[in-house]
Amino acid sequence: MPEPQQQPGHATPVLEAVDLHVEIPLPIGHLQAVRGVSLSVGAGESVGLVGESGCGKSITLRALLGLLPVPARVTGGALLLDGVDVLGMPERRRQRALTDAMSMVFQDSLTALNPVMRVGDQIAEVPRRRLGMSKSMAHARAIDLMDQVGIPDPEQRYRAYPHQLSGGMRQRVCIAIAMSTEPRVMLADEPTTALDVTIQAQVLAVIDKLRVERQLGLVLVSHDLAVVSQTCSRIYVMYAGRVVESGGSAPLLATPEHPYTDALLRSVPDPDAVVARLASIPGQPPTLVDVPRGCAFAPRCTYAADVCTAEASPPELEQVRAAEPHTTACLRHDDIDLSASAEDALALEKEAR
Amino acid sequence: MTSIPAPIPTVTADAPRQSRPGRNYTLYVGLTLFALIVLAAIFAPLLTSADPLQQNLLQARLAPGSSGHLLGTDDLGRDVLSRILFGARIDLKVGVLAVLIPLVVGSMLGLLCGWWGRWFDTIVMRLVDIVVAFPFYVLVIALVFALGQGTRSIYIAISAVGWVAYCRIVRGQVLVAKEQEYALAARASGLPTWRILVRHLLPNVILQAIVYAMSDIVLSILAIVTLSYLGLGVAPPTPEWGSMIAEGQNSLLTQWYLATIPGLCVVVVGLALALIADGLVNQFNKR
Amino acid sequence: MQYALYVLRRLLTLIPVLVGITFIVFLLLKLIPGDPAVTLLGVHATPKAVAELHQQMGLDKPLYQQYLTFLGHLLQGNLGQSYQYRGVSVSSLVFSNLAPTVWLIVVGTVFAVAITVPLAMISANRPGSVTDGAVRAIPLAGIGLPSFWVGIMLILLLGLKVKVLPVSGFGTSFGGHVQHIILPALTIALAQLPILIRSLRASMLEVLGSDYIVTAKAKGLSRSRVMFGHALRNAGVASITVLGVNLAYLVGSTVAVEKVFALNGVGFQMYNAILGRDLPVVQAITLIFAVFVVTVNLLTDLAHAALDPRVRLG
């Protein structure tokens, strides 16, 4: 797995979210989708955001991009772009600043593309409309981008419509579009989930290549731990709208310090083991309309104790050991011992691929 | 202590806010409005003492608000309000009845087409294509012209043209429904075909047709009003909104209300039925 | 090439429909109670004269033969002779009055689109707002709008109270035509608004909820580029079909609207023919309208396929 390109904390991260809160007003009540998430990504760095469906990772990405879906809004925290808080800016300027610096790749490449427009024109759109290039220059730029993301025969493919391309090819188009704005950070929301395993690897390789070549920051959202462990140097684990553990990929996956991370790792099936049933985490994540008391994972946690729900406010992240960037939100991390067998499970999974 | 899983909000960019779950105001308002109109029509004799056919040239051309004539009188001295109310009887009656036949006939044909298919389906669908090729009003007008003026011709004409929509709707529904499990189960259990069609399939596929019927009643009323305006509908001096508008057009400058009020009545009826139709759709979306 | 095949296929399916149309129009004659010969000659005609006329008109032949003769005449462009105006052929009567109706339909559609698009876009842009509520009220209140009544109201408001526009006839010069067509075309447009607005607004909302709109915004494109270049383009494609289907109603309402404005077009001809019991004219105009609708539907389908690559490329 890739080494961190820089020691965190040494240079100003390109993008930093500090205690971000996002709320979605619904008829049933106000849903606290993101409850105090802090994360950062530096130039050329790749961070992963993992968690099960509904934990708020996709909403977080949208908040980072400044394009939350209409009823949702940011209700607290700061969003720093090169150290400057953009949340204080008027909406237009904020969106401008964020969309200039960042771009996003979606899970479903088919719905992410305009069905009645040729893919080449969609890639050329930003160079033409925002960067002021002439039609032929924009065309050339699009071909160039298609080359960089590994689309064979780009002149031919330029004229294709989205539905005519295969999933992997389409995702490359989406990446090319993302690159057309010359971003500094790429946000990828489950970019490979809808793809075959072999194509997954190719697309991830393209993303990684671009990251290294252009010193792009990468925030990769996934529920697939294997993908994240291969591509990211740091991982944030989210649960119920909060980050419950974060740190370098290797140490975090080898020695998780939060029961949820541990449970996630264990739930990855071992293809060679004889199992009576699949290990899964019992129960369901909480509805975030009524904010749970204390640690949101407590109801499903094997190691839960009274201290976990004693305080109303959710537990803060604290460093596991001094001088290490590994943090956890488990109040009992010192008391409990999450065995190291988790790494074996993950290694076997990776080998099977 | 597990909580109920959150309905992960499918918030998509710029999607309109979900309407509050709860009372279906659209449906209630629509039904109430329509009920009021129908009641006014039924109890017309109680609501007005004037005879809609009674001419009184001394009292002609009175403006609305004149004593004894809430909505004024027309060129021949006939009370406008009573003509409106009695006219409502005809327009509403024809509007509703003229939809029943297409609803029943069209749905039956659609049921058979969807269930059975084969040559029957092909022929009926060709017929549908042909009928649909004619502009609705043009064919209805031509048929009424051919068959002679009067409500009987109107029923025939509207039915001959209107069955098509129901046939399509029900056929589409049946095509989907017959692959559903309950239909397959019914067939597997060896029930006779007609029983399957009527007791199992029909209740499930008819709902869309009924919703459509609501807006079709509006079209029907519009048709009779238009026909009467053109002189093809109800014969004068029977009060009817369309012919009232035609008569009113002659004195548009001086008594603008004569042509305006009947039209507004049609609009209000249309509004009521549109609310009912929308309300029904909301109702079924909640199931 | 695939598009050409699509066009060809569609044309072929037209033929049975066209045949069917002619048959139904032919049947119209047969529906009328009474003997057409007697109608022409009058009640006091002698049986011999009636029998002669029968032979002349071919009414003594079996039905299918009569239909084939009818069809034969049609294909030669012979639409028969008017009952009302002796010696005048129906085709000359009809085609000399085609212009105002064509103007009416074209200008009416242009007005309709010109009003619908901005309203639907504003409404879809701010769902739940007051403007949106107002726009949404239009289909509700408007579904019950009789088109001819709208015309009368327009005459009242814009023609009589405020003498801005002429209220009847078609005018003699090109400029006159333009002036005279405004109110009728506006009437037609307003009558179509409820359906068109509802459809385009719904399409826009659906499209605005798509991921590719988020992609477009993430690209940092201007709001207008997103709305027009991406949203409207997709929503419009879906709405073209609605426009085409609605044209059938629009065409049908020309009969009443032309009567309101005494606009001497094909619809007004139909009205006159009905008053004067002139069956051949009624038949001919019904047929022409039907052929027009079929053609428009075909063109709509072709346009839709041309604009939506998913349809024509499969």
Tell me the β-bridge partners of A21: A35, A76
Helix or strand holding residue B24 (H, E) = none
Report the pLDDT averaged over residues C126-134: 83
Establish if B270 touches chain C: CB-CB under 8 angstroms. yes
Q: Do A107 and A193 form a contact (C-beta atoms < 8 A)?
A: yes
Asked if C220's CB is within 8 angstroms of A116's CB, the reply is no
Establish if A340 touches chain B: CB-CB under 8 angstroms. no
Does the pLDDT of residue C246 top 90, yes or no?
A: no
Establish if A65 touches chain C: CB-CB under 8 angstroms. yes
Asked if A299's CB is within 8 angstroms of B3's CB, the reply is yes
Give, rounded to a whole angstrom, the gap between the first and last alpha carbons of chain A: 15
Tell me the β-bridge partners of A220: A48, A188
Does the pLDDT of residue A60 top 80, yes or no?
A: yes
Nearest in space to A243 (alpha carbons), one of A8, A25, A77: A77
Asked if A284's CB is within 8 angstroms of B2's CB, the reply is yes
Better pLDDT: C56 or A294: A294
pLDDT of residue C94: 83
- Which of A286-300, B242-256, B257-271, C154-168 has the highest mean predicted lDDT (pLDDT)? B257-271
Q: What residues of chain A lie within 8 A of the CB of B21, using their CB?
A: 27
Q: Which residue of A has its CA nearest to C215?
A: A112
Nearest in space to B210 (alpha carbons), one of B114, B92, B99, B93: B99
pLDDT of residue B267: 92
Band (C182; pLDDT cuts 50, 70, 90): confident
pLDDT of residue A178: 92
| Chains interfacing with B (3 or more CB pairs < 8 Å) | A, C
Q: What is the pLDDT of residues A27-55, one digit of tens each?
A: 778 888 898 899 999 999 999 999 888 88
Q: What is the pLDDT of residues B170-190, one digit of tens each?
A: 888 888 777 777 777 777 777
Does the pLDDT of residue C15 top 90, yes or no?
A: no
Contacts 24+ apart (CB under 8 A), B119-123: B121/B171
Nearest in space to B208 (alpha carbons), one of B166, B150, B178, B179: B166
Band (A179; pLDDT cuts 50, 70, 90): very high
| Chains interfacing with C (3 or more CB pairs < 8 Å) | A, B
Who contacts C305 (Cβ-Cβ below 8 Å, separation ≥6)? Answer: C3, C6, C311, C312
Tokens of C38: 């007697």
Lowest-confidence pick of A59-68, B35-44, B153-162, C46-55: C46-55
pLDDT of residue C313: 66
Q: Do A327 and A317 form a contact (C-beta atoms < 8 A)?
A: yes
Lowest-confidence pick of A5-14, A39-48, B55-64, B130-139: A5-14
Of B130, B226, B231, the CB nearest to C21: B130
Tokens of A168: 């992997």
Asked if A106's CB is within 8 angstroms of C219's CB, the reply is no
Q: What is the pLDDT of residues C191-216, one digit of tens each?
A: 888 888 888 888 888 888 888 998 99
Nearest in space to B246 (alpha carbons), one of A54, C146, C126, A129: C146
Does the pLDDT of residue B69 top 80, yes or no?
A: no
Asked if C145's CB is within 8 angstroms of B16's CB, the reply is no
pLDDT of residue B14: 29
Asked if C221's CB is within 8 angstroms of A125's CB, the reply is yes
Does the pLDDT of residue B20 top 70, yes or no?
A: no
> Does B45 sit behind a cis peptide bond, omega within 30 degrees of 0 on the bond before it?
no
Alpha-carbon dihedral of residues A97, A100, A102, A104, nearest 10 degrees?
120
Q: How many residues does chain C have?
A: 314
> Residue A225: left if φ>0, alpha if ψ -120 to 50, beta else—which one?
alpha
Q: Do C270 and C255 form a contact (C-beta atoms < 8 A)?
A: yes
Sole residue written with tokens 């879809």: C124
Separation of CA A100 from chain center: 19
Establish if A281 touches chain B: CB-CB under 8 angstroms. no
Of C219, C222, C234, the CB nearest to A116: C234
Q: What is the ipTM of this complex?
A: 0.81
Does the pLDDT of residue A9 top 60, yes or no?
A: no
Sign, CA torsion C166/C171/C176/C182? positive
Q: Which residue of C has its CA nearest to A182?
A: C219
Min CA distance, C189 vs chain B (Å)?
17
Using CA atoms, how far residue C264 sits from A148, C81, C158, C239, C259, in Å, is 65, 20, 21, 31, 8
Band (C39; pLDDT cuts 50, 70, 90): low
Nearest in space to C89 (alpha carbons), one of C77, C98, C99, C79: C79
Band (B22; pLDDT cuts 50, 70, 90): low
Nearest in space to C267 (alpha carbons), one of C112, C103, C143: C103
Q: What residues of chain C lie within 8 A of the CB of B249, using their CB?
A: 152, 260
Q: Which residue of B has its CA nearest to A289?
A: B6
Using CA atoms, how far residue C98 sits from C95, C103, C170, in Å, is 5, 9, 12
Q: How many CA atoms lie within 13 A of C110 on its CB side?
A: 10
Asked if C230's CB is within 8 angstroms of A164's CB, the reply is no
Q: How many CA atoms lie within 13 A of C177 on its CB side?
A: 13
Q: Do B258 and B244 form a contact (C-beta atoms < 8 A)?
A: yes
Q: What percent of chain B lies above the pLDDT cut of 90?
A: 7
Does the pLDDT of residue A144 top 60, yes or no?
A: yes
pLDDT of residue A173: 94
pLDDT of residue B5: 31
Establish if B135 touches chain C: CB-CB under 8 angstroms. yes
Better pLDDT: A210 or C129: A210
DSSP C207-223: HHTSHHHHHHHHTT--H
Tokens of A88: 């204080």
Of B15, B142, B242, the CB nearest to C28: B142
Q: Do C217 and A67 form a contact (C-beta atoms < 8 A)?
A: yes
Of B12, B146, B253, the CB nearest to C32: B146
pLDDT of residue A339: 64
Report the pLDDT averaged over residues B39-48: 79
Band (C84; pLDDT cuts 50, 70, 90): confident
Reduce the secondary structure of chain A to three states and give it as a string: CCCCCCCCCCCCCCEEEEEEEEEEEECCEEEEEEEEEEEEECCCCEEEEECCCCCCHHHHHHHHHCCCCCCCEEEEEEEEECCEECCCCCHHHHHHHHHHHEEEECCCCCCCCCCCCCHHHHHHHHHHHCCCCCHHHHHHHHHHHHHHCCCCCHHHHHCCCHHHCCHHHHHHHHHHHHHHCCCCEEEEECCCCCCCHHHHHHHHHHHHHHHHHHCCEEEEEECCHHHHHHHCCEEEEEECCEEEEEEEHHHHHHCCCCHHHHHHHHCCCCCCCCCCCCCCCCCCCCCCCCCCCCCCCHHHCCCCCHHHHCCCCCCCCEECCCCCCCEECCCCCCCCCCCCHHHHHHHHHHHHC
Phi, psi (deg, nearest 5) at residue B55: -90, 150
Q: What residues of chain C lie within 8 A of the CB of A115, using their CB?
A: 212, 234, 308-310
Of B137, B229, B260, the CB nearest to C252: B137
When the pLDDT of each residue in chain B is averaged and rounded to a whole number, the result is 79
Mutate to test the interface with C, among A91, A94, A114 (most CBs of C within 10 A): A114
Establish if C136 touches chain A: CB-CB under 8 angstroms. no
Tokens of B115: 């269930």
Min CA distance, A43 vs chain C (Å)?
20
Does the pLDDT of residue B70 top 80, yes or no?
A: no
pLDDT of residue B9: 31
Nearest in space to A105 (alpha carbons), one of A39, A152, A66, A58: A58
Chain A to chain B Cβ contacts (< 8 Å): 47
Helix or strand holding residue B247 (H, E) = helix B241-250
> Residue A42: left if φ>0, alpha if ψ -120 to 50, beta else—which one?
beta
Asked if A163's CB is within 8 angstroms of C218's CB, the reply is no
Does the pLDDT of residue C54 top 80, yes or no?
A: no
Does the pLDDT of residue B105 top 70, yes or no?
A: yes
Does the pLDDT of residue C82 top 80, yes or no?
A: no
Of C222, C225, C233, the CB nearest to A116: C233
Alpha-carbon Rg of chain A, whole angstroms?
Answer: 21
Band (A349; pLDDT cuts 50, 70, 90): low
Report the pLDDT averaged over residues C58-78: 78
Tell me the β-bridge partners of A235: A48, A247
Report the pLDDT averaged over residues C226-230: 88
pLDDT of residue A3: 46
pLDDT of residue B286: 63
When the pLDDT of each residue in chain A is averaged and rounded to a whole number, the result is 84
Q: Which residue of A has its CA nearest to B22?
A: A27
- Cα–Cα distance for residue pair A228/A221, rounded to 1 Å: 8
Of C217, C225, C310, the CB nearest to A115: C310
Give me the amino acid identity at B79. D
Mutate to test the interface with C, among B137, B232, B268 (most CBs of C within 10 A): B137
